[in-house]
Amino acid sequence: MRTGVRVGIDVGKVRVGLARSDFHGMLATPLETVARSLDSDADIRRILEIAAELDPIEFVVGLPLALSGSHTASTNDAVTFAEKLATASARPVRLVDERLSTVSAHSALRSSGKKSSRSRNIVDQVAAVIILQHALDAERGSSYPPGSLVGLNEGT
């Protein structure tokens, strides 16, 4: 298992949920929710500011696939976001399968007694935690980095 902080990212149409891991890659925790900026790169800039503070070894971006494994409009949106992030950052960006992470996040919040209408920002962070924790667990189980590298980082 590689050591170093990772930043998990759940890309949505309105918000981007962020999570971080501990240095040893054992546990993902919620970090922040960033407003999605479709007409500027303010969201990417904020993520890079956070990365400057945390010095992560990589970004882990959720890839929302259909249950059948096929691509959807959300898949293409997440790939475009990951490519923009890879272009803006020298850190590796990985796409990992995130089927049902938002559904799992809503379920976890309901189980803890949180109302959906009051926890929109938190849902995105919890989804990012689920994505990142899944990636950490997959790497720990296989000894290989999870998912696939994006864009300029593909040779890393």
Residue 135: inside a domain: yes
Nearest to 54 by CA among 81, 32, 34: 32
Residue 151: inside a domain: no
Torsion angle defined by CA atoms of residues 15, 67, 112 and 23, in that order, rounded to the nearest 10 degrees: -70
Residue 152: inside a domain: no
Q: Residue 56 contacts by C-beta under 8 Å, 6 or more apart in sequence? A: 4, 5, 6, 7, 20, 91
What are the tens digits of pLDDT across the range 12-69? 999 999 999 999 999 999 999 999 998 889 999 999 999 999 999 999 999 998 777 7
In percent, the amount of the chain with pLDDT more than 90 equals: 68
CATH number of the domain enclosing 14: 3.30.420.140
Neighbours of 106 (CB within 10 A): 16
Q: What is the pLDDT of residue 56?
A: 98
Domain that holds residue 20: 6-143
Helix (H, G, I), strand (E, B) or coil at 41: coil
Higher pLDDT pick, 148 / 105: 148
Residue 98: inside a domain: yes
Question: For residues 83 and 150, is the Cβ–Cβ distance under 8 A?
Answer: yes
Residue 134: inside a domain: yes
Residue 153: inside a domain: no
Q: What is the pLDDT of residue 113?
A: 66
Residue 154: inside a domain: no
- Euclidean distance between CA atoms 101 and 54, whole angstroms: 24
pTM metric for this prediction: 0.87
| Residue that has been written with the tokens 């298992």 in this structure | 1
The total of structural domains in the chain comes to: 1
Q: What is the pLDDT of residue 155?
A: 46
Helix (H, G, I), strand (E, B) or coil at 6: strand
Residue 150: inside a domain: no
What are the tens digits of pLDDT across the range 62-117? 999 877 778 888 899 999 999 999 999 999 999 999 875 555 555 665 666 666 55
Specify burial of residue 100 (Cβ count, 10 A radius: 0-12, 13-18, 19+): middle
